[in-house]
Amino acid sequence: MSNQIAWGIIGCGDVCEIKSGPAFSKVEGSKLVAVMRRDVEKAEDFARRHHVARFYGDAHELINDKAVNAIYVATPPSTHEYYTEEALKAGKPVYVEKPVTVNAASCERMIALTKKYNNKVSVAHYRRALPLFKTVKSLLEKETIGNIRLVRISVLQQPNHKYTNAEHAWRLNPDLAGGGLFHDLSPHQLDILCWLFGEPKFSTGRSFNQSKAYQAPDITSVELGFEKDILMQGVWAFNVAENSREDVCEIIGDRGKLRFSFFTNSDLQVITATGTQVMPMEFPVNIQLPMIEAVTKYFRGEGANPCSLEEALVSMRIMDRTL
């Protein structure tokens, strides 16, 4: 692998504008050199605004661009497996967006592809690399709140009408996304839980379409059991009033608890018998930058894979059990 990772993006849509796209050229040994979108005019616009040398309307042209030696797949999940295979077939490692694909069976096929083509794939479970979650992991390892008993997650949102327009509607189409908004958001939380506590010993879940506003479920509950009999209970609802909005995770031990949000810039609260310690936390402007730095090092042979397909498969299996 070249010392310089020269990235090409397949699917330079909204997620690439701030969250990820600019970060590729801010990381040492990394540069974004080409982008692709089916609407080539939008690809050209993205390239112009972000100072990217080349743009394409066809993914295969980008994959076969000799100046590109690594691929970021940022399309809807239904095409992740296909583009990953095409990139690996061309001898190029892949950084693939979450959810990694539409179901566990597809993820298993992607794992087989890495072995077939003997190349690297890393998954964009980028919250692992953020200071908030690294701090949570450190506090748990120090047993700051004692033995962990319970994890509670509550994600309550009002209906978001932007997801019904053509550009964003794929998130509500199970054929394209694997499910509904639960499949879009829960991989962040499920992956962090498995990163903190290991693979669950059991997993159950149920989904319902209460509002019937679209074809995907709009409310999901999940229960997980980890080693040491740690229990997780979570609910994701996308059909409540604005005044009921909530984004809360609590990790409760026998000597205190941690309280924080996954998606809202907020503080980390450490609540123990001595009182409440508030630890200010902020997400980076380009929120994927720390993860892209780790992936770049992995592709350069300078570090471990920050999130493997095998790890992402655990979350996919949990999500499959909710449908």
Q: How many CA atoms lie within 13 A of 76 on its CB side?
A: 17
- pLDDT for 2 equals 60
Full DSSP string of 63-99:
HT-TT--EEEE-S-GGGHHHHHHHHHHTT--EEEPSS
Question: Quick check: is 149 in a domain?
Answer: yes
Are residues 94 and 180 located together in one domain of the fold? no
Question: Quick check: is 315 in a domain?
Answer: no
Are residues 118 and 179 located together in one domain of the fold? no
Are residues 213 and 93 located together in one domain of the fold? no
Are residues 180 and 277 located together in one domain of the fold? yes
- pLDDT for 160 equals 86
pLDDT averaged over the chain? Answer: 96
Are residues 202 and 251 located together in one domain of the fold? yes
Coil, strand or helix: which one is 78?
Answer: helix
Question: Quick check: is 318 in a domain?
Answer: no
User: What is the mean pLDDT of the segment spanning 81-99?
Assistant: 98
Are residues 137 and 14 located together in one domain of the fold? no
CATH number of the structural domain spanning residue 159: 3.30.360.10
Are residues 137 and 278 located together in one domain of the fold? yes
Q: For residue range 201-243, what is the model confidence (pLDDT) as tens digits? A: 999 999 999 999 999 999 999 999 999 999 999 999 999 999 9
Rg for the chain, CA atoms, rounded: 20
Domain, as residue range, for 250: 131-283
Are residues 139 and 266 located together in one domain of the fold? yes
- pLDDT for 203 equals 98
Question: Quick check: is 321 in a domain?
Answer: no
Are residues 24 and 64 located together in one domain of the fold? yes
Q: Is the pLDDT of residue 40 over 90?
A: yes
Question: Quick check: is 74 in a domain?
Answer: yes
What is the number of domains present in the chain?
2
Question: Quick check: is 311 in a domain?
Answer: no
CA distance 203 to 318: 6
CA distance 133 to 283: 11
Bond into 99 cis (ω within 30): yes
Question: Quick check: is 153 in a domain?
Answer: yes
CA 68, chain centre distance (Å): 23
CA distance 185 to 202: 21
Q: Is the pLDDT of residue 1 over 70?
A: no
- pLDDT for 231 equals 98
SS (H, E, C) 9-38: EECCCHHHHCCCHHHHHCCCCEEEEEEECC
Q: For residue range 7-32, what is the model confidence (pLDDT) as tens digits? A: 999 999 999 999 999 999 999 999 99
- pLDDT for 274 equals 95
Run of H or E residues at 252: strand 246-253
CATH number of the structural domain spanning residue 81: 3.40.50.720
- pLDDT for 130 equals 97
Are residues 33 and 95 located together in one domain of the fold? yes
Are residues 153 and 278 located together in one domain of the fold? yes
Contact yes or no for 212/181 (Cβ under 8 A):
no
Q: What is the pTM of this model?
A: 0.96
Q: Is the pLDDT of residue 168 over 90?
A: no
Are residues 90 and 135 located together in one domain of the fold? no
* Tokens matching residue 137: 């992991």
Q: For residue range 99-143, what is the model confidence (pLDDT) as tens digits? A: 999 999 999 999 999 999 999 999 999 999 999 999 999 999 999
